[in-house]
Amino acid sequence: MDYFLTSVADVAAELATSPAGLAAATAGQRLAKHGPNQLADSHQKTVWQLVLHQLSDVMILVLLAAAGVSVLIGEAKSAYVILAIVVLNAVVGFVQEFRADKAMEALQKMAASHAQVLRDGHAQQVPTTELVPGDVVLLEAGNVIPADVRFLETHALKVDESSLTGESSNVEKTAAALPAGEYPLGDRLNLGYKGTAVTNGRAVAYVVATGMQTELGKIAVLIQTAEVVTPLQKRLGTLGKRLSVAALAVGALFFGLGCLRGEPWENLLLVAISLAIAALPEALPALVTISLALGAGRLMKSHALMRKLPAVETLGSVTYICTDKTGTLTLNRMTVEELYEVPAVKLAGLGDRNALLTALALNTDASHDPANHWLGDSTEVALARYAEEKAYARPALEAQFPRLAELPFDSERKCMTTLHQTPQGVLVLTKGAAGSLYKQLTDSQQGRLADLTRRVDAQAAQGYRVLAYGAKMLPVLPPDLTPATVETDLTFLGFASLIDPPREEARQAVAACKAAGIIPVMITGDHKLTAKAIAEKLGIISSKDELVLTGPELTALDAPAFAAMVEHVRVYARVDPAQKLRIINALQARHQFVAMTGDGVNDAPALKNADIGIAMGINGTEVAKEAAAMILLDDDFATIVEAVKHGRRIYDNILKFIRYLLAGSVGEITTLFFAPLLGLPVTLLAIHILWINFITDGLPGLALAYEPSEKNSMQRPPVDPRQTIFADGLGWFIMGAGLLVGGLTIAMQAWAIRQGLPHWQTMAFTVLCLSQLGLALAIRSRRESIFSIGLFSNKPMLWAVALTVALHLLIIYVPFGNRLFSTQRLTVSELGITLAVSSVVFWAVELQKLIARRRGAPTVLPLPVPAALPSPTATVPVPA
Ligand code: ADP
Ligand code: MG
């Protein structure tokens, strides 16, 4: 059925519904029939797919090949062990991936959106997935339309359909049926589509299609996003490829050299394959995903909900946090401190009522329920409540002077107007930013302008938000209600000064930001002086070099001039949301990594373009949330800083297990490769290498993801996301530690052979295994000694190490283990010697850290010195 050609009544009949909505029971039946209102997700993996995924790994195939070779050369025993390792590895991999998937699913559930629906005759919030055809949804500006709908009632409704049609302008929607004809999607003016955004007005609508039946669903196959790969995973992918090539080369070389030396090729082949496996950090990509998912779970507990996984990793790289003021840096607890009334202004029609207080009570959308619980925007509530305390309650006044029409507030105009019927005509009341009203004053009042400006500025400079009121009388309601016709020729009634105290935790968070090399920037629609006063209280501005720029000043600047100063601006006042985009672009052009907050519909482009877009969880619109990478559940600036701290921790930990795994690989390669060159027998059997690679590397590696933050993590500059992972000596460390591990193993082997000890192989095996455990413990911190961070501060690591040691003892002391792994029982003195040799790595790394600390490699790295300032004044002169 073509719902756009049909009258609303016929649409209702067709869908068996009515303007009162469905009964909950009916909705339940329809949900069972039509299925949930969501797009089929090809990424949801079933348990079986996860299992298959584990087995399809290239490495597993290589392992199976190794098992095959073992059987061929009559080493069936090895084949069993290899197969057991394959299964064990698949189980561990499965459990980890399953946990990560579950964590992500829980996050997605948290981020799920809700819709206002009429069910059983009253409005209620329902998860959008539960919408069914025939449901009546209530839509308002800021909503994302949850399904395909046919409007039955619209009020100044405008919809942004660019996500579907690519048209960027807003479409005005109506409820009327269209005359017969052909209409492309964008011209069906009485339909709304799933996934598009309401930018203005409100509407009531019938749901006509849900889930894959919607227009979005029909093209969903086309837009289904590729699996997200984080920048780090990408770099690791490249690294992995290079290492694979290297691994194959090393394996082939080993095999070739062995043949030349006349060793039996079957054994050589097996060891060569194991060598290649040892060289590959196959576990890395999975470990990264798992630690990101775990990290997202931890962030959730700190009230930051991650919508995009890569953001978890890049959070730590943020260099600028551009944040809204109201509600984020401040408590959003507005209180009217004082009123200023322009003397001797009387409005006909109000009798002897006070004009300013009447305006406070009438020009508002705030209201309260019988329990005196106020509802509405905090500014509005403060003003209405103040009026009520002075016996100017809104309901009583509105009964006498009914509201005829209104021009709602928007952050570009920065004011709002209500029109009321009085015995003398139509009363126009406007409130808003004083600056917006100045231009609209009557000629007779223009003379007072200097005095008014002085008074308003004096209040703003103390940090007050000043709201000015203007009024006029019209004989009748004008036919076209636009700001240009209504908000002109006003008489200034006076203004109210509101205080919105800064959040104490925001002040501390600002200091934390600065210590961490991150620059906090305040963006607000408020008066320049108000913004500056609050910024100073919070410490965002603490020196003359830190600039305040207003929206109009920004507009007047050309691109090069703005680029020259953008890194020094700390406060943007009187800006409108469109200018946020310009700020982001200018900062990004200077290679800054920008986090930007937003709440409104028109913040969405900025949120999408920022490196990390952050939407407000409490005061944010759905549109903003959909555009963001992260949702701030408590709207608190301090939470952003906390999230950055988590981000740094996660990044650090990822680097730690890269260190651990790669150093281990280098150690294993060194051992296998150099022992024969030094005239020794091949140190280990293939199964020994596999054991080390999966058990010794895997468990402690995973435990590193649980490592708490480094002590100095918020006292050092952010990591440049373009920097290679081998920066800061990581590559050298891996080589050094790896060579040490390998060298010790070979030395153990050589010494034991010279002493004529028959257990030399088990001794070398044990050294290779245990020295890596020592490494895992020592690299828990990059700088601090393990004794100062506390042996018990990472419990999973202790468990991992204990478990690995226990397993190792099991395979060298239990007869069954001896048979399977061709190991021998070490005597007490042999075990003592291997333990002593193994611990060398641990002490060496601790010594290296001690030297680094002694040498005073500064905990607090010097921050980059800002370039010369464009102008030494605190505020920017407006270019003529
Ligand atoms: P912020 O960035 O602090 O949230 P807004 O965009 O909400 O700023 O507000 C910008 C300016 O618009 C305020 O300084 C105030 O002068 C005016 N304003 C804010 N709320 C209202 C309102 N409800 N009615 C009229 N004017 C308002
Ligand atoms: Mg606001």
Specify whether 530 is located in the same domain as 670: no
Specify whether 671 is located in the same domain as 792: yes
Q: What atom of ligand 1 comes closest to residue 414's alpha carbon?
A: 12
What would the mean pLDDT of 258-281 be, rounded to a whole number?
Answer: 80
Which of the ligands is closest to the CA of residue 619? Answer: 2
Q: Is the pLDDT of residue 859 over 50?
A: no
Q: pLDDT band at residue 588, thresholds of 50, 70 and 90?
A: very high
Sign of CA dihedral 632, 316, 237, 668: negative
% pLDDT > 70, the chain: 93
Residues with Cβ–ion distance below 5 A, ligand 2: 326
In a domain, 860, yes or no: no
327: domain CATH number? 3.40.50.1000
Q: Is the pLDDT of residue 865 over 90?
A: no
Specify whether 840 is located in the same domain as 753: yes
Sequence letter at residue 214? T
pLDDT at position 804 is 94
CB atoms within 10 A of CB 556: 14
CB atoms within 10 A of CB 506: 27
Q: What atom of ligand 1 comes closest to residue 324's alpha carbon?
A: 2
The CA R_g of the chain, rounded to the nearest whole Å, is 34
Mutate to test the pocket of ligand 1, among 325, 521, 526 (most ligand atoms within 8 A of CB): 526
152: domain CATH number? 2.70.150.10
Mutate to test the pocket of ligand 1, among 414, 417, 574, 580 (most ligand atoms within 8 A of CB): 414
In a domain, 310, yes or no: no
Mutate to test the pocket of ligand 1, among 379, 415, 571 (most ligand atoms within 8 A of CB): 379
Question: CA-to-CA distance for 161 and 170, rounded, in angstroms?
Answer: 7
pLDDT at position 199 is 86
Residue 135 a catalytic site member = no
Specify whether 712 is located in the same domain as 606: no
In a domain, 262, yes or no: no
* Nearest residue to 602 via CA among 332, 193, 304, 198: 198
Cβ within 8 Å of residue 811, ≥6 positions away: 691, 817, 818, 820, 821, 823
Specify whether 688 is located in the same domain as 765: yes
In a domain, 388, yes or no: yes
Residue nearest (by alpha carbon) to ligand 1 atom 20: 379
In a domain, 55, yes or no: no
pLDDT digits (tens, 9 = 90+) for 755-779: 999 999 999 999 999 999 999 999 9
410: domain CATH number? 3.40.1110.10
Cβ burial, residue 492 (10 Å; 0-12/13-18/19+): buried
Mean pLDDT of the chain: 87
Is the CB of 776 within 6 Å of ligand 1?
no
Kindly give the distance from the C-alpha atom of residue 500 to the centroid of ligand 2, in angstroms, as a whole number: 12
Specify whether 708 is located in the same domain as 574: no
Kindly give the distance from the C-alpha atom of residue 600 to the centroid of ligand 2, in angstroms, as a whole number: 9
Kindly give the distance from the C-alpha atom of residue 326 to the centroid of ligand 2, in angstroms, as a whole number: 6
pLDDT digits (tens, 9 = 90+) for 452-478: 999 999 999 999 999 999 999 999 999
* Nearest residue to 275 via CA among 241, 312, 246, 242: 246
CA 215 to chain centre: 29
Q: Does the pTM exceed 0.75?
A: yes
Of 165 and 188, the structure prediction assigns the larger pLDDT to 188
CA 637 to chain centre: 14
pLDDT at position 223 is 47
Is the CB of 380 within 6 Å of ligand 1?
yes
In a domain, 53, yes or no: no
Q: Examine the fold and report which residue of 497, 530, 559 is the final residue of a domain before the chain moves on.
A: 497
Specify whether 532 is located in the same domain as 601: yes
Of 44 and 275, the structure prediction assigns the larger pLDDT to 275
What would the mean pLDDT of 201-229 be, rounded to a whole number?
Answer: 76
**Catalytic: which of 135, 148, 324, 599?**
324
Of 527 and 236, the structure prediction assigns the larger pLDDT to 527
Is the CB of 360 within 6 Å of ligand 1?
no
> Strand 415-422 vs strand 403-410: parallel, antiparallel, or unpaired?
antiparallel
Q: pLDDT band at residue 875, thresholds of 50, 70 and 90?
A: very low
Q: Examine the fold and report which residue of 467, 497, 527 is the final residue of a domain before the chain moves on.
A: 497
pLDDT digits (tens, 9 = 90+) for 674-714: 888 898 988 888 888 888 887 888 788 889 989 999 888 89
Sign of CA dihedral 244, 248, 254, 257: negative
pLDDT digits (tens, 9 = 90+) for 632-676: 999 999 999 999 999 999 999 988 988 998 999 999 989 988 888
Question: CA-to-CA distance for 879 and 868, rounded, in angstroms?
Answer: 20
Q: What atom of ligand 1 comes closest to residue 431's alpha carbon?
A: 25
Specify whether 12 is located in the same domain as 128: yes
Torsion angles phi and psi, residue 95, rounded to 5: -60, -45
Specify whether 618 is located in the same domain as 723: no
User: Any idea which of 16-20, 44-48, 117-121 has the lowest mean pLDDT?
Assistant: 44-48
Specify whether 121 is located in the same domain as 7: yes
pLDDT digits (tens, 9 = 90+) for 481-513: 888 889 999 999 999 999 999 999 999 999 999
In a domain, 697, yes or no: yes
Q: What atom of ligand 1 comes closest to residue 363's alpha carbon?
A: 24
Q: Examine the fold and report which residue of 442, 470, 497 is the final residue of a domain before the chain moves on.
A: 497
Torsion angles phi and psi, residue 109, rounded to 5: -65, -40
Kindly give the distance from the C-alpha atom of residue 594 to the centroid of ligand 1, in angstroms, as a whole number: 25
* Nearest residue to 593 via CA among 306, 225, 310, 229: 310
Question: CA-to-CA distance for 158 and 169, rounded, in angstroms?
Answer: 10
Q: pLDDT band at residue 112, thresholds of 50, 70 and 90?
A: confident
CB atoms within 10 A of CB 53: 14
Specify whether 583 is located in the same domain as 450: no
Is the CB of 525 within 6 Å of ligand 1?
yes
pLDDT at position 313 is 85
Question: CA-to-CA distance for 627 and 610, rounded, in angstroms?
Answer: 10
In a domain, 93, yes or no: no
Domain containing 348: what range? 337-497
Is the CB of 416 within 6 Å of ligand 1?
yes
* Number of domains forming the structure of the chain: 4
774: domain CATH number? 1.20.1110.10
Q: What atom of ligand 1 comes closest to residue 326's alpha carbon?
A: 3
User: Any idea which of 20-29, 208-217, 557-566 has the lowest mean pLDDT?
Assistant: 208-217
Specify whether 711 is located in the same domain as 789: yes
Rounded to 5°, angle at Cα 438 from 436 and 439: 80
Contact 601, 621 (CB under 8 A): yes
Q: Is the pLDDT of residue 2 over 80?
A: yes
User: Any idea which of 129-138, 228-237, 571-580, 716-725 has the lowest mean pLDDT?
Assistant: 228-237
Kindly give the distance from the C-alpha atom of residue 511 to the centroid of ligand 2, in angstroms, as a whole number: 24
Kindly give the distance from the C-alpha atom of residue 525 to the centroid of ligand 1, in angstroms, as a whole number: 6
What would the mean pLDDT of 128-137 be, rounded to a whole number?
Answer: 94
Q: pLDDT band at residue 872, thresholds of 50, 70 and 90?
A: very low
